[in-house]
Structure 1
Amino acid sequence: MTTQFHDNILSADALDQLFNEARTYNGWHDKDVSEAQIQKIYDLLKMAPTSANMQPVRLVWVRSEEEKAKLAEMASDGNKDKIRAAPVTVIIGYDIDFHEELPWLFPHADAKSWFEGDEEGRKEGAARNSALQGAYLIMAARAIGLDCGPMSGIDLDEVTDEYFGDDPKVKADWVCSIGYGDPSTIFDRSPRPDFEKFNRVV
Structure 2
Amino acid sequence: MMGRPFSSLGARGAIIACAVIVVAAGLALHFAGRSAICPCGTVKLWHGVVQSDENSQQLSDWYSLSHVIHGLLFYAIGWAVFRRWSVAARLTLAVLVEAGWEVLENSPIIIDRYRAVTMAWGYAGDSILNSLSDIGCMAIGFWLARVLPWRASVALGIALELIALAAIRDNLTLNVLMLVWPVEAIRVWQAG
- TM bucket, shorter chain: under 0.3
* Structure with more of its chain in helix, by fraction: 2
TM-score by length of 1: 0.26
**Larger gyration radius, structure 1 or structure 2:** 1
Task: Work out which structure has the larger RCO, using CA pairs closer than 8 Å and 6 or more positions apart in sequence.
Answer: 1
TM-score of the aligned structures, taking structure 2 as reference length: 0.27
